[in-house]
Amino acid sequence: MNSPHVRFALAQKTLEFVPPLIRDALLEDQDFRKNYGLVKKAILTLPDLDISFPRSSLYSAVRRVLSGATEKKVVNTKGKKWRLKNISKKGELPNLSLSRGEKRFPLPGLAALSPNRDTRLLFLDEAIFSFNLPNSASERWRNILSERALADDEVDAFYSELRDTPVENMRAISSEIITGQISLSSPVPPSRRYFERLVGKYDKSSSIRDYAASGGRKLFAQLSAWRPYDGFLFGLLLSSHSSLTDEINVDQLSSEDLVRAYNFLEKHGDRISQLGAIEVGLRVLPSRPEIEQPLMHLIEKIRDDDVDGQASGFNLLSALFCLVDGELSRTRLLSSEPPFYRRLAALSQAALIHRQLVNLPVDIDQFSKEAFSNLGQQYYLQSLVDMRLEPRWDPEFVVASQMKANFFGRILIAAKKYEQNITGSQIYNLVLADKTESLSPFGYFPETWLPGPLEGAEYTQNTLPPKVSEVIETQLSAKEVGPSSFPALVNFVLLYPIGADHAKLAAKALQRANYRLPNIEERSELVVILDGLAKVAAVSRSPKLADELQILVRRYRHDAEYALSIQEVIKICLAAAASRSQLDEWTEFVGSWLTELALGDLKEDEGPMLYEYLKRLLHAVPELWVSCGRADAALSAFINK
């Protein structure tokens, strides 16, 4: 059994029967191939020329040219001969070129195959600096290239390392946009390593504030040490929470570079980076007065964004966030981390993509519509699932108008925090003055103060005013229960700490009304109340209110006048399920409700819709299979019938 021939035959036969994804992964493993005597016959394709070469033949010719040969002939997969030459000047890194007749194609970046140690290490140093390769990765390749040239397989691994950097991803997105080859999924690398380089490695922090002070601070320091100007711009991609922008330092930036960065952001920046630059600018303004005018222009840029217009930056940000977060949910790439970390990665990548789109000729309105239609549902359901851990973020807050309101709130908070820095300046008039053109009149209550995407687990530090508490209790305790019983509770649930006592009063009110709300003027009023009560159950962690709400929804599901749609019931179900923070209790509650829906009276178009929702939920939370098996079987039978 230990014979190399037997091991080779067994491996070869086994690979014929395993799924393609597993087979490809095994064949990519160098140790696996070595242990079983397998040789990977790889083909390299040069897309610009639409030609392919056997990898071993091409790399062999490269090694010979780098060893001093004047030129070598290489035969492509169609039997055509090409000439390979080193066209670099003396003292430069090797610069290889393929040619055939009048056709010429540069083949740069293969100096790692050189027999000369100094050449290899110089090439590595330039790659590390250009791509901002982390120390952990660069030291590994330095150890190899100090000893020898790369093997064929290692070349692919090395360039995979470079592709998994934000620098290269930014270049790749721009290239795809220019050539018209960009797809909705291509700007979202299917690589954990990439996102850890974009936003830092998750370090077990329990909140975004803790992460900002640890992983975020570490990443910003590394970016600043790499290249202060570029590092500042890359760091601003993480500006989706003020605790992160608090950690961004500009001490290493010259006045010229700082002004240059602000001017760049005004003309070519994404909305998240612009907001981050505003918060940083308000903080450092006394020591960096040269940015006052560019800072004003950024604030005006955000103030004047027309969210109803086709070129709205907030519309694009909203669509890109749904696109990236939906794709991360689909691939389950960061499924083991808390939602705030995945959303930080999604928002930072959305900002990176946004920054490329605003610089190039793209139909932003069309791109946004396609992003919403393709991955909007995956984002939406994943966000509802996330409420179990972070109940204060509502997926509907992703709309452009709410995103803009959230940005206004952050600017107003930063301006009040650093009010002494802007007193007497034009910025004060622009932000805090009670003037028509300032932000202050735009700070409509309560939208400006609702939670942002990374604040789903952050409970407000505000104290519930006694008068508000009194109004809530008065409405919930009224003898006649109806639409007027819940507005205060629902409207203030995300602004003040609403606890178990208020949730208990709401549950009793539903019982007292015999699960019927009289005097409803229109259907939308009912939906708002049900949705709001689901939020209360989630934020207050009240299983009792969630259970009573399920009975109320059951009653209105097929009501002749106010019948609830499948989409509306699913949202209420998943939001109310967040009353259970433990996974086993959550899956039991969701599974029971979905099974009841699946076995109930479904209209012809509701069955496929519910089945699609169920499949996405099972993908996002595989543990649901235990409690949703019957629902899956029932819906499959419904559709087949």
User: What confidence score (pLDDT) does residue 13 get?
Assistant: 62
Q: Which of 42-46, 389-393, 472-476, 600-604 has the weakest average pLDDT?
A: 42-46
Q: b/e string for 291-311 if b means 16 or more Cβ within 10 A?
A: bbebbbebbebbbebebeeee
How many whole angstroms separate alpha carbon 620 and alpha carbon 328?
10
Residues 30 and 58 in one domain: no
Mean pLDDT within 194-204: 96
Say if 469 falls within a structural domain: no
Say if 107 falls within a structural domain: yes
Q: Is the pLDDT of residue 33 over 70?
A: no
Identify the band that residue 186 occupies on the pLDDT scale cut at 50, 70 and 90.
Answer: confident
Burial of 275 (0-12, 13-18, 19+ CB in 10 A): buried
Say if 160 falls within a structural domain: no
Residues 111 and 233 in one domain: no
- Asked whether 503 and 544 are in contact (CB, 8 A), the reply is yes
Say if 356 falls within a structural domain: yes
- Asked whether 26 and 15 are in contact (CB, 8 A), the reply is yes
pLDDT for 106-136, tens place per residue?
888 899 999 999 999 999 999 999 999 999 8
User: What confidence score (pLDDT) does residue 48 get?
Assistant: 62
How many whole angstroms separate alpha carbon 40 and alpha carbon 37?
10
Mean pLDDT within 486-510: 91
Q: Is the pLDDT of residue 24 over 60?
A: no
Rounded to 5 degrees, φ, ψ at 185 are -95, -20
- Asked whether 200 and 244 are in contact (CB, 8 A), the reply is no
320 SS3 class: helix
Say if 43 falls within a structural domain: no
Q: Is the pLDDT of residue 30 over 80?
A: no
User: What confidence score (pLDDT) does residue 18 get?
Assistant: 61
Q: Is the pLDDT of residue 435 over 70?
A: yes
User: What confidence score (pLDDT) does residue 350 get?
Assistant: 96
More confident residue, 23 or 483: 483
Residues 567 and 625 in one domain: yes
Say if 465 falls within a structural domain: no
How many whole angstroms separate alpha carbon 82 and alpha carbon 103?
10
Residues 502 and 609 in one domain: yes
Q: Which of 75-84, 196-205, 370-379, 623-632 has the weakest average pLDDT?
A: 370-379
- Cα separations in angstroms, 377 against 366, 374, 380, 395, 614: 18, 8, 5, 10, 12
The residue type found at 412 is L
Mean pLDDT within 296-315: 91
Q: Could you say which of 97, 123, 152 is where a domain stops?
A: 152
Identify the band that residue 105 occupies on the pLDDT scale cut at 50, 70 and 90.
Answer: confident
Residue 2's DSSP bridge partners are none
Identify the band that residue 187 occupies on the pLDDT scale cut at 50, 70 and 90.
Answer: confident
Q: What share of the chain is helix, strand, coil (3-state, %, to 5)?
A: 65, 5, 30
Mean pLDDT within 457-484: 88
Q: SS3 for 59-116, per residue?
A: HHHHHHHHCCCCEEEEECCCCCEEEEEECCCCCCCCCEEEEECCEEEEECCCHHHCCC
How many whole angstroms separate alpha carbon 603 and alpha carbon 584?
31
Q: Which of 108-117, 534-543, 624-633 has the weakest average pLDDT?
A: 108-117
User: What confidence score (pLDDT) does residue 580 get?
Assistant: 97
- Asked whether 353 and 320 are in contact (CB, 8 A), the reply is yes
Mean pLDDT within 13-32: 62
Q: Is the pLDDT of residue 11 over 80?
A: no
Q: Is the pLDDT of residue 498 over 90?
A: no
Mean pLDDT, all residues of the chain: 90
Range of the domain at 263: 192-403
More confident residue, 50 or 233: 233
Q: Is the pLDDT of residue 38 over 60?
A: no
Say if 348 falls within a structural domain: yes
- Percent over 70 (pLDDT), the chain: 91
CB proximity list for 220: less than 8 A, separation 6 or greater: 231, 235, 247, 248, 249
Identify the band that residue 641 occupies on the pLDDT scale cut at 50, 70 and 90.
Answer: confident
Identify the band that residue 411 occupies on the pLDDT scale cut at 50, 70 and 90.
Answer: very high
Q: Could you say which of 102, 124, 152 is where a domain stops?
A: 152
Residues 21 and 70 in one domain: no
Residues 399 and 345 in one domain: yes
Residue that the structure tokens 């009224």 belong to: 478
Residues 102 and 211 in one domain: no
More confident residue, 78 or 208: 208
Q: Could you say which of 123, 152, 181 is where a domain stops?
A: 152
* Selection from 243, 279, 188, 237 nearest residue 457 by Cα: 243
Residues 208 and 77 in one domain: no
Say if 163 falls within a structural domain: no
Burial of 521 (0-12, 13-18, 19+ CB in 10 A): exposed
Q: What sections of 182-216 are H helices per DSSP?
A: 192-199, 208-211
- Cα separations in angstroms, 554 against 204, 233, 549, 591, 601: 40, 51, 8, 15, 12
Q: Is the pLDDT of residue 164 over 70?
A: yes
360 SS3 class: coil
First to last CA, the chain: 52
User: What confidence score (pLDDT) does residue 175 get?
Assistant: 82
What is the count of structural domains for the chain? 4
Residues 616 and 559 in one domain: yes
Residues 388 and 269 in one domain: yes
Identify the band that residue 335 occupies on the pLDDT scale cut at 50, 70 and 90.
Answer: very high
Residue that the structure tokens 């208990």 belong to: 504
Q: Is the pLDDT of residue 29 over 90?
A: no
User: What confidence score (pLDDT) does residue 179 get?
Assistant: 73
Residues 480 and 399 in one domain: no
Residues 12 and 104 in one domain: no
pLDDT for 52-98, tens place per residue?
889 889 999 999 999 988 889 999 888 889 999 998 888 889 989 88
Q: b/e string for 131-164 if b means 16 or more Cβ within 10 A?
A: bbbbeebbeebbebbeeebbebbbbbebbebbbb
Mean pLDDT within 325-343: 95
pLDDT for 350-381, tens place per residue?
999 999 988 776 777 777 778 777 788 999 99
User: What confidence score (pLDDT) does residue 309 get?
Assistant: 84
